[in-house]
Amino acid sequence: MFVINCPYCGERDQSEFSCGGEAHIVRPKQPTELSDDEWAEYLFMRKNIKGVQFERWNHAHGCRKWFNMVRDTSNDKIHAVYKMGEKPPVI
């Protein structure tokens, strides 16, 4: 079980958090103008990387804030956490 450094609360047990999947997938501003394929790309397609992955996490049983996390999915090493809207770090 990881220890996650919530950008608002500090280090807490993983059991307080839930993972929201891949980060930096922006909801299209004008969905009606997208083709089925383009919409499907947004809706369904995820990279599911083995290695360094940018993810969304929610401090569900804490401050309820969403934030981003850079995690190596092959060894669960957490490289960085940063707030929503902040620029992703270069890893």
Partner 1 sequence: MTKYRINKTRFVDQTKTVSFTFDGKKYHGFEGDTLASALLSNGIHLIGRSFKYHRPRGIMSCGSEEPNAICQINDNTDLTEPNVRATEIELYEGLKASSQNCWPSLNFDIGGINNLISPFIPAGFYYKTFMWPKSFWKKIYEPLIRLSAGLGKSPTQPDPDIYDHKYEHCDVLVIGGGISGIMSAKIAAKNNLKTILIEDKNILGGSTIYQNNKNFIIDNQKSNEWLMNEISELEKLDNLIIKTRTSLAAFHSYNYLLAKENISDHLPLDKKNGSIRQRLWKIRADKVIVAAGAIERPLIFNNNDRPGIILANSVKKYLDFYGVSTGLNNIIFTNNDSAYETAVSLFEKGISVKIVDIRKKSSSNIVKNAEDLGIKIYWNSTVVNTFGYKKIKSIEIMNLSEDGSNVTGNKHKIQCDCLSISGGWTPMVHMHTQSGGKLDFREIDQVFVPTEKSENHINVGSCNGDFELEEIVKNTNYKVKKFLNINEGGFDKISVLCSKESEKKNIWLLPNTISESKTKSFIDFQNDSTAKDIKLALREGFKSIEHVKRYTTTGMATDQGKLSNMHALGIIADTAGVKMGTLGTTTFRPPFTPLTFGAIVGRSVGKFFDIVRKTSIHEWHVQNNAKFENVGQWKRPWYYPINNENLHEAVQRESKAARDSAGILDASTLGKIDIQGSDASEFLNRVYTNAWSKLGIGKCRYGLMLNEDGMVYDDGVTTRLGENHYLMTTTTGGAANVLSKLEDYLQTEWPELDVYLTSVTDHYSTASICGPNSKKILNKLFPNKDFSDEAFPHMSYQDAKIDKIECRIMRISFTGELSYEINVESKYGKSLWENCIAAGEEYKITPYGTETMHLLRAEKGFIIVGQDTDGTMTPIDLQMDWIVSKKKYDFIGKRSLYRSDTMREDRKQLVGLLTDDPNEILEEGAQIVSELDKKPVEMIGHVTSSYFSPNLNKSIALAVVKGGKKMNGQKLFVPMENKNINVTVSDFIFFDKENKRINA
Q: Residues 8, 42, 76, 91: which binds Zn ion (CB under 5 A)?
A: 8
Residue 77, beta-bridge partner list: 72
Q: Smallest gap, in angstroms, from Cβ of residue 61 to partner 1?
A: 11
- Rounded distance between C-alpha atoms, residue 63 and residue 42, angstroms: 28
With binding defined as CB under 8 A, does residue 66 bind partner 1?
A: yes
With binding defined as CB under 8 A, does residue 62 bind partner 1?
A: no
Name which of residues 5 to 24 contact partner 1 (CB under 8 A). 14, 18, 20
Residues 6+ apart with CB under 8 A from 52: 70, 71, 72, 73, 79, 91
Contact 35, 48 (CB under 8 A): no
With binding defined as CB under 8 A, does residue 32 bind partner 1?
A: yes
Q: Which two tokens stand for residue 12?
A: 């807490």
For residue 8, the partner it binds in partner 1, Zn ion, none, with Cβ less than 5 to 8 A by kind, is Zn ion
Q: Residues 16, 19, 34, 62: which binds partner 1 (CB under 8 A)?
A: 34
